[in-house]
Structure 1
Amino acid sequence: MEQNHLKDNVGVKEEDDHSKGLWDTALNPPSRNVLPTAASLAHSRSSIITELPRTGQGYNQAKHHLFNDIIPGLNDSAINANYYGFVTGGVTPAALLADNVVSTYDQNVCVHLVDHSVTTDVEYAALCLLKDLFGLKKEDWPHGTFTTGATGSNLVGLACGREYVLRKAVQKKGGNGSLKGLQVLSTLPHASVGKAAGILGIGRANVKSIATQTGGTDGQPLKFDFDVLEKELARADVATIVSISCGEVNTGRFATKGIDEFKRVRELCDKYNAWLHVDAAFGVFGRVLEDGPEFDMVKKGSEGIELADSITGDGHKLLNVPYDCGFLFSRHGDVAEEVFKNPNAAYLCSSAGNHIPTPLNIGVENSKRFRALPVYSTLIAYGKDGYRAMVERQIRLARLITAWLYDHPKYTVLGGAGSKEDLLATTYMIVLLRAKDEGLNLKLADAINATGKIFVSGTKWSGEAACRIAISNWKVQVERDFKLVKEVLDGVAQ
């Protein structure tokens, strides 16, 4: 395509106040509702161009369309600390800066070529920094890769697990003809684990929750039934991957409560040649906390994951880097290469004699955005202490809300039991609640979100409607945000 076919090419180079304004918006967002108004959404939808024009409108008109038609229809999930839906992080200033570099230089992080670019060096370094953040020994985790998110990471982890357990079955029996299939054993697994199992041919129906309870009010709905676990692992007709939920999505609580319990799972996996995967999308950040009584129960929930075969983590949650970003660590680099290496592609060969692996041979994607740079930038900017302080603020806000709701005449806190003290000690950064009035409870999420002041996700718990407040933005301010949450919840309960 010739240059003169692109309108306003020179204008792109000129100073652009709109673009500079995006930076200001990200760091100092305007005072407005968390969600766009109905009128803004209607206008944005009606303005979307659905047929390709023969003659382009040009850069300036496209810019006008984006800023005046599309942006008003976007929500403030990343730039507003009071967006508590799903588990949605923001974007730190250092990560935002790096993401602009990523878009400007548009590197494809696929093959490690030492004379070509430092992108793979930065990716390798970013993965090492993450291991430092989470207290994982670098030498124990030779396989690391960036993905599109926890779903992609679970896909990679389970793919490696599938290869490993089938290989073990062949070694044991001289063939796998006696196997009827594979299974994934977990406790209240996230939907992405089932999705990954479906993609990999393991089968969604073969993802089984073997919790001591699948619900209830004893505060332990995530714990393994070890009798069932060993019985399933001992089956000769199936190969097994065990997936530990390190941070259940509705409650934020953990499937294990310390190193001894995790060791017990590890020992059973070793005994029966099972792969041990940890889905720690946001739970892995419990490992950045200091030792001490305030956060002891949260820290214990992520204790022991260093014993796993693979660990899933999310960057666009508590790390607060832009979408989309996940990461996966595995102990078994040879298994990863067996699964993902590109066959018969000489042009994809990497530089010889270097310790940095070629990304396309250890992960799903042959073409990959430079997701590592925002991770690298934010970690060197704020360090472990910066992330520790952020997670502490998130937990303290969640616990303030939990304590207030525990005594509230019109709300019930879910997902835990026992004393108020026990409930608070096990609260991470998610609050699960229900209105005591059945009519209000059925529309609670809609009523809260209609205020425009905060956003929460509706969900189901023990078969009934519930709401969850997931605190994951780096901008959280405990007292300010607690005051707003109280105001909104009191208002909708009137």
Structure 2
Amino acid sequence: MAAGVLPSESALQHARTSLLSKIPPNGHGDQATRHHLHNDLVPGLNKSSQSPNYYGFVTGGSTPIAAFADNLVTAHDQNVQVHLPHETAATNIEDAALRMLCDLVDLIPAEWPHRTFTTGATASNVIGLICGREYVVREAARRVGLFNSGSVAEHGLFEAMTAAEIDRVQIVTTVPHSSLRKAAALVGLGRNCFIDVGCDTASRSFDITELARALKTPRTASIIAVSCAEINTGLFATNGHDMRIIRKLADEYGAWIHVDAAFGLPARLLPRNVGYDALLEGVAGVELADSITGDAHKLLNVPYDCGFLFSKSLALAQHCFQNPNAAYLATAASQPTNASEPSIPSPLNIGIENSRRFRALPVYASLMAYGKIGYTEMLVRQISLARAIATYIEGHTTYELLPSDPSRTLEQRLESVYVIVLFRAKNHALGDGLVQRINGSKRIYVSGTQWDGKPAARFAVSNWQVDVERDIALIKEVMDDVARD
């Protein structure tokens, strides 16, 4: 393992000063360029993927088999956009990987026929909101007796909403990830379309009464967005009982349920043992949603960028994302190559991109190499480390575990700890520079955030190399040093 998570200041400075400022008239050649990359630039990169002690972004880190497969992706450079079964097996591999991914998290592939890989959770949220937007406006039009004028994809948002007699499409949610707000801006709903229906608690779980009230808003169509789990704390916004009620309300009011599960979906892997009940309840009922966003670099420890989107309506997706009148992209590939094979839609007609990297291969390789048991074991180690960190922080005189909850014992609070640990310094003077002091060690890395308007810090445990005993010892050593300074 490398000695530090962050590069030295001298390595950063050297990398910056050695960068070319303009293209050379004559190329330097492969050998000189390789030397430059390896010796000048690579030392200036952080080890967010290579080190198990990086706890900032939920990077995960590429496993050896995922890195090997990703090199094959580059070497063979497939453009996985059109299903051409007599020319390449790329789309067959993608379909197999997506089916295996469904199986990994106990979703039945046949119930999620719209399955696609994306650049990440942001793109997946864009796709989910486009499908949701199309559905709720169509449904609003249907409810006023119109059946051909409510398509946003066909007529545009303004004309479709006018025909459907609605003035607004709202996203009803609690603690949405920033990427969901960005997606709302991109699809024309706006960052201000969000209606917060969270309970006034640390977990910000759904207030079902407020949700029902929001869905009744006149001349308004609704997308219900469920955070599974929240980025700052790792806590879940719903449980199985909530999801059943949300599903009933969505059906009653013509709403679409979109689950942003980039953080939480792996919890469906957990065994039903004592200690995981709260986490399993947090992902219970996810199968009742209409669309689900996930991140493979979090869930499967494959390289950036790799997200995925599952939804229950393939026809709706093909209507939204169809490439019209592109003769050179025509394919008979929607038909199986023989009667025993499933039909595979061309990826360019069910997602954003036409040009698509072969992201499926590292996913397929990883699922084959480690299997369900292997990924479960990785997640259990990550949760165990997160809970060890939480226990250490709660017992320390310098630090405070967040969210504070005097009504619950530490054991009860630990049951809700997933892979994220939120904390701050009790001393406000230390709190302002806490993250900088921890990261200044260059031995571990945490991210800065806020809680209740005050500075806080956050451990996000996600690397596949986690070793609980080794890593908690290092964390305690660094944190104790910071406390003594």
Structure 1 residues 129 and 330 mapped into 2: Cα distance closer, same or farther (>3 Å)?
Answer: same
Q: Secondary structure at the match of 1:398?
A: helix
Residue of structure 2 in register with 1:150 after alignment = 121
Matches within 5 A, 1:254-293: 254-257=236-239, 259-293=240-274
Matches within 5 A, 1:233-382: 233-257=215-239, 259-352=240-333, 353-354=335-336, 355-382=343-370
The whole-number CA distance in structure 1 between the counterparts of 2:82 and 2:169 is 33
The whole-number CA distance in structure 2 between the counterparts of 1:312 and 1:148 is 12
Q: Is the 8 A contact 1:318 1:473 kept in 2?
A: no
- Amino acid in structure 2 at the alignment position of 1:188: V
The one of 431, 436, 452 equivalent to 2:426 is 436
How far apart are 1:93 and its partner, in Å?
Answer: 1.1
- Amino acid in structure 2 at the alignment position of 1:237: R
- Amino acid in structure 2 at the alignment position of 1:372: A
- Amino acid in structure 1 at the alignment position of 2:325: N
Residue of structure 1 in register with 2:399 after alignment = 411
The whole-number CA distance in structure 2 between the counterparts of 1:205 and 1:421 is 39
Q: Secondary structure at the match of 2:39?
A: helix
The one of 374, 387, 402 equivalent to 1:386 is 374
- Amino acid in structure 2 at the alignment position of 1:166: V
Q: Secondary structure at the match of 2:462?
A: coil
Q: Is the 8 A contact 1:289 1:392 kept in 2?
A: yes
How far apart are 1:415 and its partner, in Å?
Answer: 2.4
Give deviations 1:187-225, integer Å, cap 9, x for gaps: 110000000000000000112222112xxxx54x32112
The one of 180, 196, 213 equivalent to 1:193 is 180
The one of 438, 452, 457 equivalent to 1:462 is 452
Q: Secondary structure at the match of 1:102?
A: helix
How far apart are 1:416 and its partner, in Å?
Answer: 5.2
The whole-number CA distance in structure 2 between the counterparts of 1:250 and 1:241 is 23
How far apart are 1:425 and its partner, in Å?
Answer: 0.4
Q: Secondary structure at the match of 1:316?
A: helix
Matches within 5 A, 1:448-487: 448-487=438-477
Q: Is the 8 A contact 2:399 2:426 kept in 1?
A: yes
More divergent stretch after superposition (197-206 vs 311-320) = 311-320
Q: Secondary structure at the match of 1:356?
A: coil
Q: Secondary structure at the match of 2:299?
A: coil
The one of 366, 378, 396 equivalent to 2:384 is 396
Residue of structure 2 in register with 1:228 after alignment = 210
Q: Is the 8 A contact 1:86 1:470 kept in 2?
A: yes
How far apart are 1:317 and its partner, in Å?
Answer: 1.5
Q: What's the Cα RMSD here?
A: 1.0
Matches within 5 A, 1:483-494: 483-494=473-484
- Amino acid in structure 2 at the alignment position of 1:480: R
The whole-number CA distance in structure 1 between the counterparts of 2:403 and 2:107 is 30
Q: Is the 8 A contact 1:416 1:423 kept in 2?
A: no
Give deviations 1:219-269, integer Å, cap 9, x for gaps: 4x3211222211111123111100000010011110013x21110111111
TM-score normalised by L of structure 2: 0.93
How far apart are 1:351 and its partner, in Å?
Answer: 2.6
The whole-number CA distance in structure 2 between the counterparts of 1:35 and 1:292 is 37
Residue of structure 1 in register with 2:339 after alignment = none
The whole-number CA distance in structure 2 between the counterparts of 1:414 and 1:127 is 36
Which 4+ stretches in 1 moved above 3 angstroms?
A: none
The whole-number CA distance in structure 2 between the counterparts of 1:335 and 1:387 is 32
Q: Is the 8 A contact 1:126 1:375 kept in 2?
A: yes
Q: Is the 8 A contact 1:89 1:316 kept in 2?
A: yes
How far apart are 1:424 and its partner, in Å?
Answer: 0.3
The one of 417, 435, 439 equivalent to 1:427 is 417
How far apart are 1:456 and its partner, in Å?
Answer: 0.4
How far apart are 1:457 and its partner, in Å?
Answer: 0.2
Q: Secondary structure at the match of 2:199?
A: coil
The whole-number CA distance in structure 1 between the counterparts of 2:299 and 2:41 is 27
Q: Is the 8 A contact 2:70 2:303 kept in 1?
A: yes
How far apart are 1:184 and its partner, in Å?
Answer: 0.7
Residue of structure 2 in register with 1:4 after alignment = none
Residue of structure 1 in register with 2:39 after alignment = 68
- Amino acid in structure 2 at the alignment position of 1:82: N
Give the gaps of 5 or more residues in structure 2.
150-160, 337-342
Q: Secondary structure at the match of 1:87?
A: coil
Residue of structure 1 in register with 2:142 after alignment = 171
Q: Is the 8 A contact 1:122 1:372 kept in 2?
A: yes
- Amino acid in structure 1 at the alignment position of 2:77: D
The whole-number CA distance in structure 1 between the counterparts of 2:19 and 2:117 is 33
How far apart are 1:403 and its partner, in Å?
Answer: 1.2
How far apart are 1:366 and its partner, in Å?
Answer: 0.1
Give the gaps of 5 or more residues in structure 1.
1-28
Aligned length: 459
Q: Secondary structure at the match of 2:55?
A: coil
Q: Secondary structure at the match of 1:311?
A: strand
Q: Secondary structure at the match of 2:364?
A: helix
Q: Secondary structure at the match of 2:445?
A: coil
The whole-number CA distance in structure 1 between the counterparts of 2:444 and 2:410 is 25
The whole-number CA distance in structure 2 between the counterparts of 1:325 and 1:135 is 20
The whole-number CA distance in structure 1 between the counterparts of 2:244 and 2:305 is 33
Q: Secondary structure at the match of 1:456?
A: strand
Give deviations 1:412-465, integer Å, cap 9, x for gaps: 110252211111000001100000010111111100000011000000111111
Q: Is the 8 A contact 2:317 2:350 kept in 1?
A: yes
The whole-number CA distance in structure 1 between the counterparts of 2:280 and 2:327 is 46
How far apart are 1:91 and its partner, in Å?
Answer: 0.5
Residue of structure 1 in register with 2:195 after alignment = 208
More divergent stretch after superposition (390-399 vs 406-415) = 406-415
How far apart are 1:32 and its partner, in Å?
Answer: 2.4
- Amino acid in structure 1 at the alignment position of 2:369: A
Q: Secondary structure at the match of 2:237?
A: coil
How far apart are 1:279 and its partner, in Å?
Answer: 0.3
